[in-house]
Amino acid sequence: MNIPDNLLYRDSHEWVRIEDKEAVVGITYYAQDQLGDVTYIELPAVGVQFVAGKAFGSIESVKTASDLYAPVSGNVIAVNEALASAPETVNHAPYGDGWMVRVSLSAEPAGLLSAADYAKCCGN
């Protein structure tokens, strides 16, 4: 399973990459694998406030639909607009071009999992 060491994770299968006072958020390889072919992603608008642990959007696939949960608190400063027309990018590059939002942090991240702990959460 692909679980990069340089990211932090939620047990609901979102990842976050901290870059100074900002964070990039997406879903994990495990999540996209469980969902199957992603067909639609609903993301918040720029300016929306994130609250860690609260739903910020949704993702749909040929199998199911799921909420997306914020791993950090802050304000959305960028949304990956390319996912609107190519949601399957999440299947092909969940840690790269499949990122979802960029957030300006309003608080230090807390309660997130390391790669090793996330692997245990996924049964590895």
- Residue 99 located in a structural domain: yes
What integer pLDDT is reported at residue 57 of this predicted model? 96
What integer pLDDT is reported at residue 123 of this predicted model? 81
Domain that holds residue 88: 8-107
For residue range 66-115, what is the model confidence (pLDDT) as tens digits? 999 999 999 999 999 999 999 999 999 999 999 999 999 998 889 999 99
- Residue 113 located in a structural domain: no
Band (1; pLDDT cuts 50, 70, 90): low
Q: Provide CB contacts within 8 A for 71, sequence distance 6+.
A: 8, 9, 10, 14, 15, 16, 23, 25, 52, 109, 112
Identify the CATH number of the domain in which residue 77 sits. 2.40.50.100
Domain count, the chain: 1
- Residue 70 located in a structural domain: yes
- Residue 87 located in a structural domain: yes
For residue range 28-63, what is the model confidence (pLDDT) as tens digits? 999 999 999 999 999 999 999 999 999 999 999 998
- Residue 2 located in a structural domain: no
Q: Which amino acid is at 12?
A: S
- Residue 64 located in a structural domain: yes
